[in-house]
Structure 1
Amino acid sequence: MLESDRYCVDVLQQLAAVEGAIVRARRAVFEAHVRGCVVDAVRQGALEDGVHELLAVVFGDRPPTGRAEDRPIP
């Protein structure tokens, strides 16, 4: 759209639509992960690992490696 010199408002509306689609996709993947993987981790007694992983996803960090009890307290 930019290369074809489309009207700025049209470009902005298209970008907003793309952003909305990304947010919906991110939410769907996150919800599936929480309802599946995190719930499974809690059931297996790995609550601390699940919490660390969720924090990593929300704040954009990499999930810590190793056992939760081996990690230092921040």
Structure 2
Amino acid sequence: MLTSTIFNTPIYKSYGKLIAEQHYQPVGAPPAIIRKDMNLVVQEAYKNEVPMPFANIVRDRLTATVALGEPDVDWASFAKRV
């Protein structure tokens, strides 16, 4: 129901399904690449004094995903650690 109302967007439909089914293959974007991007987001937010607490949470969970040896899964696998 949510994906047919306010969350009727491709990102929610595709990643929502991957996360719900815990199906992280094939890899769209590896966790290490998205972690790099999240590091840039957090750095820019800090530099510009913009609070982004959820960005830190996502970055930390991506770091855990990479550290636990899951580099060959889609970045959505970080949802297992939220």
Q: Does TM-score exceed 0.5, indicating one fold?
A: no
Task: Give the structure, 1 or 2, with the largest relative contact order (CA under 8 Å, sep 6 or more).
Answer: 2
Give me the TM-score of the superposition, normalised by structure 2.
Answer: 0.32
Give me the TM-score of the superposition, normalised by structure 1.
Answer: 0.34
Structure with the greater alpha carbon radius of gyration: 1
